[in-house]
């Protein structure tokens, strides 16, 4: 919900733009910090969700580490104040150059996704005369009950190392003098709102950890990734996810060994609700059975609806008139460039401002220049209000 003062300010800014409510982000970070510290949990911010430097700096100021999936994310994290010893690095396709960047920087841990990757890291670490700290990313075969494009922890996915490969992993580690195994890593998917899924993950991790312990392999930490979902339907009613319940699941069901650390990689749950994409209506056009509200923002600014049929709440913040129904679409030459079908909005006309809510995660971060579009600006509440 935007105050009338904020809406007045929006009228002077050229659209489309990403708006960030920095107060909400601070409140979210304070809650995560206080809930996680009850258990001594370590939080890495998943940079892929939003790599905007101002957002990243604020998150870093709360003491978070970074979870990166590319060499450039590692560089951005260092530039925005994250210390190397709090950076974890995942990804199924780490290039030689990226691995070298990570080794030279001395990151906390590589989350390794295959045996050939472990072999390459060992080889490159040997060249630099270093020892790489790694966790093995394990595919626990737990279904996250979320959209299939953001499910990552079942055996058919490309992510992680499957159970039948564990013996070979141990053999590889035995032959890798420049690798130190320090963790077991898991990440089963994103936008998970059913907390029982995380309970299932904990129980599976307990079994897997036992398997390793029976073979005298112990690790300093477990990393359970991210994936905690947000309420896209009610961004005003539930602006901050229930982190108390989320962390308590792990406290209750995960069997940590004495002094073993628990790490998280939170992305969406940190930043989704603080962002909105603000766009202007270019035209209202009559279709056969519908009216199209054609915006100046499209899939180039927010890809999620086109990519995963994702729902985002859409509000007309310029009109209070009687409702009508619109297909809200962007200007891009693709039929999938549609933010919502049959959306009920107050009567909408050219130049009205529309807010597409909950776009702080995987919005700006997925922006593209397709159709040679300009990259939209970012606007921060603490700079305009
Ligand atoms: N960790 C890994 C390995 C991921 O792939 C992702 C997202 O894809 C995350 C953490 C962050 O997930 P989320 O934004 O759902 O918290």
Pocket test for ligand 1, best of 46, 88, 247, 364 (most atoms within 8 A of CB): 46
Q: Give Cα 77 distance to the centre of its chain.
A: 15
From ligand 1's centre to the CA of 64, what distance in Å? 15
Per-residue pLDDT at 109: 98
Ramachandran sector of residue 327 (left: φ over 0; alpha: ψ -120 to 50; beta: rest): beta
Q: Tell me which residue range forms the domain holding 114.
A: 22-272
* pLDDT of amino acid 141: 85
Contact 196, 204 (CB under 8 A): no
CA atoms of 337 and 307, how far apart (whole Å): 10
Q: Tens digit of pLDDT per residue, the chain (385 long)?
A: 899 999 999 999 999 999 999 999 999 999 999 999 999 999 999 999 999 999 999 999 999 999 999 999 999 999 999 999 999 999 999 999 999 999 999 999 999 999 999 999 999 999 999 999 999 999 998 877 766 665 665 666 778 899 999 999 999 999 999 999 999 999 999 999 999 999 999 999 999 999 999 999 999 999 999 999 999 999 999 999 999 999 999 999 999 999 999 999 999 999 999 999 999 999 999 988 899 999 999 999 999 999 999 999 999 999 899 999 999 999 999 999 999 999 999 999 999 999 999 999 999 999 999 999 999 999 999 998 5
Contact, 327 vs 301, CB < 8 A? Answer: no
| CATH code of 226's domain | 3.20.20.10
Q: What is the pLDDT at residue 142?
A: 85
Quick one: pLDDT at residue 157? 75
Instruction: Tell which atom from ligand 1 comes closest to the C-alpha of 269.
Output: 16
- Residue 282's nearest CA partner among 267, 304, 269, 297 is 297
Nearest atom of ligand 1 to the alpha carbon of 90: 3
Residues 6+ apart with CB under 8 A from 45: 56, 59, 60, 64, 65, 66, 67, 265, 266, 267, 270
Closest ligand 1 atom, CA of 91? 3
The residue to mutate among 48, 87, 223, having the most atoms of ligand 1 within 8 angstroms of its beta carbon, is 48
Query: Ligand 1 center to residue 299 CA distance, Å?
Result: 21
CA distance 208 to 364: 37
212 and 178 within one domain? yes
Residues 10, 34: one domain? no
Is the link from the previous residue into 16 a cis peptide, with omega within 30 of 0?
yes
Enumerate residues lining ligand 1, CB below 6 A.
Answer: 46, 48-49, 67, 90, 187, 190, 225-228, 265-269, 361
Nearest to 322 by CA among 348, 289, 287: 348
The pLDDT, as a whole number, for residue 328 is 98
- Report which secondary-structure segment, H or E, holds 20: strand 17-20
Tell me, in angstroms, the distance from the centre of ligand 1 to residue 281's CA. Answer: 33
Number of domains into which the chain is organized: 2
CA-192 nearest atom, ligand 1:
15
62 & 154 share domain: yes
Q: Report CA(323)–ligand 1 centroid distance (Å).
A: 37
Residues 229 and 297 in one domain: no
pLDDT at 154: 63
Phi, psi of 354 (to 5 degrees): -115, 140
Cross-strand pairs, 323 = 346
110 and 142 within one domain = yes
d(C-alpha 65, C-alpha 83), whole Å: 7
CATH code for the domain of 334 = 2.40.37.10
Residue nearest to atom 5 of ligand 1 (CA): 187
Atom of ligand 1 nearest to the CA of 268: 14
Distance of CA 160 from the midpoint of ligand 1 (Å) = 13
- Residue 292 has phi, psi (to 5 degrees) of -100, 130
**Is the same domain home to 147 and 286?**
no
Pocket test of ligand 1: the residue of 42, 227, 362 to mutate, having most ligand atoms within 8 Å of its CB, is 227
Q: Are residues 11 and 109 in the same domain?
A: no
98 and 147 housed in the same domain: yes
Please check whether residues 161 and 181 belong to one and the same domain.
yes
Cβ-based neighbours of 304, under 8 Å, separated by 6 or more: 310, 312, 359, 362, 363, 366
| Structure confidence at residue 78 (pLDDT) | 98
Looking at ligand 1, which residue's alpha carbon is closest to its atom 15? 227
**Do 278 and 266 share a domain, yes or no?**
no
DSSP 178-240: TEEEEEEE---BS-B--HHHHHHHHHHHHHHHHHHHHTT---SEEE----B---SS-TTT-SS
């Amino acid at each position: 919900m935007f105050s009338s003062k904020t809406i007045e300010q929006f009228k002077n800014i050229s659209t489309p733009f990403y708006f960030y409510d920095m107060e909400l982000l601070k409140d979210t970070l304070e809650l995560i910090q206080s809930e996680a510290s009850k258990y001594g949990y370590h939080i890495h911010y998943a940079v892929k969700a939003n790599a905007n430097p101002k957002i990243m700096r604020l998150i870093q100021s709360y003491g978070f580490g970074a979870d990166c999936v590319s060499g450039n994310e590692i560089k951005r994290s260092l530039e925005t104040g994250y210390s190397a010893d709090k950076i974890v690095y995942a990804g199924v396709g780490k290039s030689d150059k990226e691995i070298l960047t990570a080794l030279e920087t001395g990151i906390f841990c590589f989350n390794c996704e295959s045996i050939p990757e472990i072999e390459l890291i060992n080889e490159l670490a040997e060249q630099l005369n270093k020892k790489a700290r790694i966790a093995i990313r394990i595919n626990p075969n737990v279904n996250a009950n979320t959209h299939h494009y953001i499910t990552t922890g079942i055996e058919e996915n490309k992510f992680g190392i499957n159970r039948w490969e564990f013996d070979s992993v141990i053999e590889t580690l035995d032959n890798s003098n420049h690798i130190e195994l320090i963790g077991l890593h898991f990440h089963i998917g994103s936008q998970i709102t059913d907390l029982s899924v995380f309970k299932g993950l904990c129980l599976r991790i307990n079994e897997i950890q036992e398997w390793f312990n029976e073979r005298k392999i112990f690790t300093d930490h477990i990393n359970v990734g991210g994936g905690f979902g947000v309420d896209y339907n009610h961004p005003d009613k539930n602006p901050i996810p229930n982190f108390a319940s989320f962390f308590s699941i792990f406290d209750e069901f995960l069997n940590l060994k004495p002094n073993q650390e628990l790490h998280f990689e939170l992305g969406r749950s940190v930043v989704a609700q603080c962002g909105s994409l603000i766009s202007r209506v270019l035209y209202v056009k009559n279709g056969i059975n519908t009216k199209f509200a054609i915006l100046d923002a499209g899939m180039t600014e927010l890809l999620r609806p086109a990519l995963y049929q994702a729902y985002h709440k859409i509000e007309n913040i310029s009109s209070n008139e009687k409702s009508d129904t619109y297909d809200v679409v962007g200007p891009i030459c693709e039929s999938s460039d549609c933010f919502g079908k049959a959306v009920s909005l107050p009567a909408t006309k050219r130049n009205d401002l529309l807010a597409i809510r909950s776009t702080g995660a995987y919005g700006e971060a997925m922006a593209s220049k397709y159709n040679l579009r300009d990259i939209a600006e970012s606007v921060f509440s603490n700079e305009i209000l």
